[in-house]
Amino acid sequence: MSPSPSGRYDLVIVGGTAPGLSVAISSLRSGLGLVRIVEESSTVAFPELATENSLDIGYGETVSSIELVEDDLVVSTDRLSYRTQAVLVAQRAEKPDWTPPLPIAKSDRILVDVLPERLADQDVLIIGYTDRAVELVAAAAAGGAGVVMAAAGLDPAKLSPAGDHMLRRLERERRATLLYRAIPDSVDVVNGFPMAYFVDRRTPDLQFDYVVFAAQRQLTSADVIGASDAAIASNRLWFVGDDKSPTSANGAEIGEKIAAACFPELALASPPTPIARRARTQGLIDELRAEHYNATITSFEPTHSDLWVLRVRPDHGDVSHLPGQYASLGLGYWEDRVDDAHDVGLDDRWPKLIRRSYSISSRIFDDHGYLANNDLYDELEFYIVLVPPTEDNVPALTPRLALKRPGDRIYLGPKVAGRYTLNSVVDPRSTVLFFATGTGEAPHNAMLLELLRKGHTGPIVSAVSVRKWADLGYINKHRELEERYPNYAYLPLPTREEGVPKTYIQALISNNVFEEMGIEMDPSSTHVFLCGNPSMIGIPEKADDGTERFPETVGVVQLLVERGFTVDRRNQPGNIHYEEYW
């Protein structure tokens, strides 16, 4: 039972809006015993939340003054008077000069900030992305309308907790259709009814019985509710509105900020982070995926937990490419990570896409055991390793990709690119050497397959440096190739395997390993392809005086140049080729 008007409250909330209900509910759950909502109308934003949480509400009361009397704030209405420790003003004032931000026709079926009197069996579009928009959607749904909410720009983290909760409930219970990423660019009238025209190609133009704009509201000023200077200076009178005011609050921070200032003895549980609040809004995530993703993962085969071969099929367009080229893959920052690392700036990046370039690999054999012909497939194959977070680098894409499985959606860049190809290999008798570290062997898989399919007769060697034998995702297929083709050799070089001498790719050249294999490294008839760790490659850089200088760590390029090889450049062909996007 509510106390008598002469009783003393812990908190009085002026306005049964979404923010007001949020604070009332969180305050009661945190330990405040007496919380009163004063609402000037006959209802609050979400009546079902008020009932479920047994909120104490005074309906039909208009606040006339808020004064500091001794150590209490006194809230006087046209009916009663309340003594309280703290006051939150959660009611909103209209912005008389607000107009919809898009062209609209004049019609009594196109409304601003009010719902039609008759809602049952009416189709209503509500345009907006604030707590006020959610309030209108909930009221229209409760009245029996078929409701669509066009909410492009909506950020669940900026809604009040009650607004966020109600939005998810409306969607979960299918009482409203939520278009998180769409908004019409104009509203006209066709045959007497509003027609909303959407520029978003995923959303058709839609006709409704009514269109309602959720107008922006403004902070209720202190003079409107008769707040005295002493009450304002008490630091216990708060306003929902602009955070520029020291006694104002927004969204999920409201209850926490007020409690910290007025009730420090309460041990409040930490509210959900903005990221967590966004992530639980499944409808928003579904729309972000629909907006950005254009391909499907058709196969995801782990070599081990941190190394995978996956295939991706685009929704549209072909997958033609030259062996050795690369494409970009992408996932949204909204996707879960396999680790607990924190992405820097995630609050701002959350609705955006992460893109990274990956060399296109290749299946080696088809389902019948013949050499695969990639021209016959409608998907691309990639060979990807999970990049762990460090103090200096928090990778964004692979920790999210690690959780994907066949059937999941992904972004595939529209263009395949790269000049790291076999165009320079024109003599089928030439020697071709592929050097890679880790997943850098991906393009080489496609390139050597192309050479073998075309009947290349010269020596072909693929050498790859990894940490462990387990890091060789294609080793069994390469061993099969060695048995079938006497001119092909696969040289895996594990550097951290017990009982195996540590050998780096540079040592294959400096120790004349190829000569011992009967392969002559003649610059006039040999092409070398390099992909992987820049330290292995050792690309020279131009100094200020125009000369080229090699890195301190001797790489393959320096060793080859010393033997008469030349670097392949855009304006100067050579026989040392390296992947440039790395």
At residue 542, the pLDDT reads 80
At residue 267, the pLDDT reads 54
Q: Which fold has domain 293-412?
A: Elongation Factor Tu (Ef-tu); domain 3 (2.40.30)
At residue 219, the pLDDT reads 73
User: Which residues are 329's β-sheet partners?
Assistant: 356, 412
Q: Quickly count: other Cβ atoms within 10 Å of residue 484's Cβ.
A: 10
Whole-model pTM: value is: 0.80
At residue 246, the pLDDT reads 46
Q: For residues 553 and 536, give the distance between their C-alpha atoms in angstroms, rounded to a whole number.
A: 9
At residue 253, the pLDDT reads 56
Cα end-to-end distance, the chain, whole Å: 69
Q: For residues 142 and 136, give the distance between their C-alpha atoms in angstroms, rounded to a whole number.
A: 10
Homologous superfamily (CATH) for 110-215: FAD/NAD(P)-binding domain (3.50.50.60)
Q: Which DSSP string do the residues of 91-138 spell out, in sequence order?
A: -EEE-TT---SS-B---TTEEES---S--TT-EEEEE--SHHHHHHHH
Q: For residues 506 and 562, give the distance between their C-alpha atoms in angstroms, rounded to a whole number.
A: 13
Q: For residues 498 and 467, give the distance between their C-alpha atoms in angstroms, rounded to a whole number.
A: 10
**Domain residue spans of the chain:** 8-93+219-271, 110-215, 293-412, 431-578
- Going residue by residue through the chain (582 aa), what tens digit of pLDDT does each one get? 344 444 689 999 999 999 899 888 888 887 888 999 999 999 999 999 999 999 999 999 999 999 999 989 999 999 999 999 999 999 888 888 889 989 999 999 999 999 999 999 999 999 999 999 999 999 999 999 999 999 998 888 888 888 988 999 998 899 999 999 899 999 999 999 999 999 877 788 999 999 999 998 777 888 889 999 999 999 889 888 644 444 545 544 555 566 556 666 555 556 677 788 788 888 899 999 998 999 999 999 999 999 999 999 999 988 999 999 999 999 999 999 999 998 989 988 999 999 999 999 999 999 999 999 998 999 999 999 999 999 889 999 999 999 999 999 999 998 898 999 999 999 999 999 999 999 999 999 999 999 999 999 999 999 999 999 999 999 999 999 999 999 999 999 999 999 999 999 999 999 999 999 999 999 999 999 999 999 999 988 887 777 888 999 999 999 999 999 999 988 889 999 998 654
| CATH number among 3.40.50.720, 3.50.50.60, 3.20.20.70, 3.40.50.620, domain 8-93+219-271 | 3.50.50.60
CATH architecture of 431-578: 3-Layer(aba) Sandwich (3.40)
At residue 223, the pLDDT reads 85
Equal CATH topology for 110-215 and 431-578:
no
